[in-house]
Structure 1
Amino acid sequence: MQQFARLKFASFGLKVPVNWQPPQGDDAKHYGDAFKPEEKQTVPGMGVPLLFMAASTNKYHTDSQKMHIGKIGGFIDGMCSAICSAWGQWQSMASMTGVLVNAVTASMGQIVGPPLMPLILASAPKSSPMELKYSNVIATVISNGWMQFTATVKIPGLPMFPAFAAFPGPLAPPIPNVPVPFAALTQVPVSISTNMLKMQMIGQLGDPAAPFHKELFEAISNAFEQCYNLWKASTMVTNILGTGPIPTFAPPYVPVGPVVGGMGNMLPGGFV
């Protein structure tokens, strides 16, 4: 996630000092006389991707650039690490309940999991008041967006329980589902889209003068959305224990029958 966020932030091509322009005319001479020769030509900060560019090779500009690269880069890395850690903890604790089971088919269900906000804030950057403010905003918005998103996730009628097509007994015992990709579930990820997350972060921060907040929020929001797109394709839905009655079971004349009106519940950690 860090690399996604860094690449997005670097794509804005930000220069520091912001809006600096080389002086012209007499001002240019005064500007040139104000610095020692070794201060006029210095090596700017390097890196791939380069989060900030120096407005010139002036020592004070390259020093500012290096400082911004260190601070913003450190915050991006720390925030992304906190989000990924929280996501992993959520995944290990989350489950799915209320799954309807009829014969082989599973449908509906509801994801249940802890809020991400406290999990993110536990390890988010908080070394300065500004970092704490940004971390609070990002953690709150991502947590709310994720909760809204998971509420939309449903099983659209998938053949998860082949053994329940014809079960030889009056009541099928708990049997785990056939794993399916998370991407196969019905879901509406609008609340965790880049634009939605960024807009809510900017609104919640409520500080138009905050340095580089729009670019920072967009970079982290974009990285989160990209990670989600990878996660949904690689994560499997497992360990939904389905059970239910077989009302047509009537041996010896009807020795097997389908589950009707059954239920399924996932054990915590079933998203793997």
Structure 2
Amino acid sequence: MSKKGWFIGIGIIAVIILLIPLIMFSPIIYMSLKYGIQTLLADKNGAMHIAEKTLEERYHQEFIVSNAKYFDVFDHFEMEAVPKDQPESSQKFNVAVYKSSNKTEVRDDYQIRKDILPLLRQSFSDSKYFFRVKNTFPGIELTFWNKEDLTWDEALKEYPSGFSVSVAVYSLSPDTEGLTENEKKRVVKLAENMRNYKFKSSDLYFHRLKPSTVTNSATVQEIIEKGAGSDRITSTCVVVDLLDVFRTEDIVCR
């Protein structure tokens, strides 16, 4: 037999040896995978049920919860929810269900969005403005915690209570660099209202959009949900901490 034939023969024998334990234990592997997936699905459905019931008790209305995703670092589920009587995508908010040794915690940013959107509409009542609000603390996503070994109970102790949000105002007004004096007054009013609501901090992003890139209501909805890329924006003013704004002179675009 040639040298090449020997190598082929040895290779076939090695493959057979490797396949024997796989064949023998395949039922065990299959059952483990099957029931592991079933357990995860059960936990996922259970988390969504807990979220729905908690939100209903918390806000005295019914909600639809969907798109649950599991994150094993902190053993929690993140999902989306909408009020049952307002299922539009513009009403979506975030919910998270965390499990610890002695309790299950449900956190959401529904109330924060409910509080801030009316304040924004008070300051920017014109139809040429629309908004995007994101809760930054307490965080629904925990990826900004660098300590991957931090347990949920430890995290509750380490991060004090308080609410922080990021607010984006999109304007379809004529292309103007920075903010007009009238817009600055509106920002001051917004800051005053937000301080009354006891928010911990808030960043404000004021974007001017290219009218040509906002062609219909579907485009507006996409921007509200996902934000706008640089190809749609002509200028941006960033106020690092809105709650430090007391007069128009305090507004510095960065």
Shared topology, TM-score over 0.5? Answer: no
Structure with bigger strand share is: 2
> What TM-score bracket applies, with the shorter chain setting the length?
under 0.3
When normalised by structure 1's length, the TM-score is: 0.24
When normalised by structure 2's length, the TM-score is: 0.25
